[in-house]
């Protein structure tokens, strides 16, 4: 928690420079077209300047008003692969498991994605946020600075967390579902200016450096939404977790959560919030509501328990709210989980990766983990014994998998019990691609029995050859997280040998 009584006021000159810097960056963050003019809505010019199609081309030829201009997305590499979705020799319902499509862009590494209905949002280090619908580019918008590290969706609003420490808020137009506009930045400029005037609002963030407590001064690494409470949680490499009230976009609390960078935050049930850090710990916080001096509701979080204290950095968290389980991925490749219904008792460890787990997603009875070893592991939970079995390994990425999302496949056929057993898995990688997988939630053998070996789904050899031809540009960059980002300084040689790994997979 912040302690205003212990804060020191910075020098007036430093305070003035801080205000001017924030004001300038705020004004320069509006969506722009290719000519650089501010636009009230996102224009087709959000494409990255790294796109090779833009090299040597005049701004006039790229103007969205020029009908002869070639769109950077005219040659969409989205590919449907029905040949992969074939029945298994055992005759099981595996026709719904495999790779559905792949999207490759030569513009940046994919660091974040979020799925909402039939829309998929992807963020990269090109600062573009793309919107995809039914496998096609539907819309997009771009930030002026800061790679996109996290995306969450709340109604018609999209919140994006960036490397520059800002949280930007976007809204879809009620008249045009393909038009997006930036409607704000957290914190709001007026709140930042108001807080900057009061010396008690400054906290020491580094040696000989103070900052206003309502703003992150380092990269925003993760976001999580509590829709019931109307709160947004943001974790940062500045070791804090900040709580934002969505109704008025105000920061209501700043939690000094960990001794190292916060890599993951996840909202659970009954007012619980889970945070994971590069310091190797997973902590549980409980929200307590009270009344302030003027009778206004005050939000406060207290530490309840430390679930994990390990040597490996915590890199990902996921909560299965219906089952009451919380999952934690770490840089040692293990996935730990705890049962909230049994007093946060440790349930076990899932081991299926050779390198760091970088992302997690949980829905239904499935848990999906993405790793720096370029694979996705699909785990199925037994509702009776709460045990887990690895039912599939999805292989096809040529780089570390940085983000994953799990959504019910609405086009899937109903299972034997009448429920929808098929899921869509979206994975984003540092190989600059987003892949869509279809996974069947098999309700057959229980995990506690002798579980069969997990099925491994691989790309065909000719497609792996195309991935092999991609330049090795997915190595650690400025977007790398604390302690190696993907958590593997020791595995850097393995990452550099992507061609050898692709050949071995083929």
pLDDT at residue 354, as a whole number: 95
pLDDT at 152: 96
Q: What are the pLDDT digits (tens) for 254-303?
A: 999 999 999 999 999 889 999 999 999 999 999 997 766 666 678 899 99
Q: Which domain holds residue 191?
A: 94-411+421-443
Which range has the worst mean pLDDT, 147-151, 374-378, 411-415?
Answer: 411-415
Mean pLDDT over the full length of the chain = 74
Q: How confident is the model at residue 212 (pLDDT cuts 50, 70, 90)?
A: confident
Q: For 90-144, what is the HEC assignment? A: CCCCHHHCEEEEEEECCCCCEEEEEEECCEEEEEECCCEEEEEECCEEEEEEECC
In a domain, 250, yes or no: yes
CA dihedral (442, 446, 449, 451) in degrees, to 10, reads: 20
Asked if residue 28 belongs to a domain, the reply is no
* Strands 455-457, 388-395: pairing kind: parallel
C-alpha closest to that of 308 among 347, 271, 352, 341: 347
More confident residue, 400 or 82: 400
Q: Measure the N-to-C terminal CA separation of the chain; round to a whole number of Å.
A: 51
Is 271 part of a structural domain of the chain? yes
pLDDT of residue 96: 53
| Beta carbons within 10 angstroms of residue 68's beta carbon | 6
* Residue-level pLDDT at 430: 93
With a pLDDT cut of 70, the percent of the chain lying above it is 64
Query: Is 269 a domain residue?
Result: yes
Compute the Cα dihedral for 341, 153, 150, 486 and give only its sign: positive
Q: How many independent structural domains does the chain possess? A: 1
Is 74 among the domain residues? no
* CATH classification of the domain holding 232: 2.130.10.10
| DSSP letter for each residue of 34-90 | TT--B-SS--GGGS-TT-GGGTT--TTTT-TT-TTPPPTTSS---EE-GGG----TT
Give the pLDDT score at 171.
Answer: 94
Q: What is the pLDDT of residue 46?
A: 44
pTM: 0.74
pLDDT of residue 33: 36
* Tens-digit pLDDT profile for residues 80-109: 333 333 333 343 444 457 888 887 766 789
Residue 56 lies in a domain: no
Residue 128 in any domain: the answer is: yes
Q: Which of 136-145, 189-198, 408-417 shows the lowest per-residue confidence on average (mean pLDDT)?
A: 408-417
Q: Is residue 120 part of a domain?
A: yes
Mean per-residue pLDDT, 426-436: 93
């Amino acid at each position: 928690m912040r302690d205003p009584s212990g804060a020191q006021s910075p020098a007036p000159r430093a305070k003035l420079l801080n205000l001017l810097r924030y004001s300038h960056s705020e004004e320069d963050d509006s969506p722009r077209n290719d000519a650089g003019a501010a636009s009230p809505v996102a224009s087709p010019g959000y494409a990255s300047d790294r796109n090779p199609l833009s090299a040597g081309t005049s701004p006039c030829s790229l103007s969205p008003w020029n009908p002869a201009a070639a769109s950077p997305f005219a040659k969409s590499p989205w590919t449907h692969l029905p040949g992969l979705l074939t029945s298994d020799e055992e005759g099981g319902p595996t026709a719904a498991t495999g790779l559905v499509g792949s999207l490759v862009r030569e513009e940046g590494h994919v660091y974040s994605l979020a799925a909402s209905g039939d829309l998929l949002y992807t963020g990269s280090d090109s600062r573009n946020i793309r919107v995809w619908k039914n496998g096609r580019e539907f819309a997009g918008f771009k930030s002026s600075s800061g790679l996109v590290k996290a995306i969450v969706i709340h109604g018609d609003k999209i919140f994006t967390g960036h490397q520059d420490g800002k949280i930007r808020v976007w809204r879809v137009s009620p008249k045009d579902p393909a038009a997006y506009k930036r409607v704000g930045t957290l914190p709001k400029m007026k709140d930042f200016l108001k807080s900057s005037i009061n010396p008690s609002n400054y906290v020491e963030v580094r040696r000989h450096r103070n900052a206003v407590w309502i703003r992150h001064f380092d990269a925003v690494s993760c976001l999580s939404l509590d829709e019931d409470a109307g709160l947004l949680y943001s974790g940062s490499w500045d070791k804090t977790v900040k709580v934002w009230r969505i109704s008025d976009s105000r920061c209501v609390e700043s939690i000094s959560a960990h001794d190292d960078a916060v890599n993951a935050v996840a909202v659970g049930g009954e007012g619980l919030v889970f945070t994971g850090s590069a310091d190797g710990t997973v902590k549980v916080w409980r929200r307590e509501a009270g009344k302030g001096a003027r009778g206004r509701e005050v939000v406060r979080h207290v530490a309840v328990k430390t679930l994990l204290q390990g040597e490996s950095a915590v890199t990902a968290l996921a909560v299965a709210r219906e089952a009451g389980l919380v999952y934690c991925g770490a840089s040692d490749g293990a996935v730990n989980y705890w049962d909230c219904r049994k007093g946060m008792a440790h349930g076990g460890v899932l081991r299926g990766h050779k390198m760091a787990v970088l992302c997690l997603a949980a829905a239904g009875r499935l848990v999906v983990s993405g790793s720096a070893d370029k694979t996705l592991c699909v785990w199925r939970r037994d509702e009776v014994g709460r045990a887990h079995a690895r039912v599939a390994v999805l292989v096809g990425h040529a780089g570390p998998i940085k983000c994953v999302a799990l959504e019910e496949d609405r086009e899937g056929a109903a299972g034997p019990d009448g429920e929808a057993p098929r899921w869509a898995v979206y994975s984003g990688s540092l190989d600059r691609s987003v892949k869509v997988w279809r996974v069947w939630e098999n309700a057959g053998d229980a995990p506690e029995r002798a579980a069969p070996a997990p099925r491994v789904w691989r790309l065909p050899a000719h497609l792996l050859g195309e991935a092999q031809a991609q330049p090795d540009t997915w190595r650690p960059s400025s977007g790398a997280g604390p302690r190696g980002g993907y958590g593997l300084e020791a595995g850097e040689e393995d990452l550099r040998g992507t061609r050898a790994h692709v050949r071995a997979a083929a």
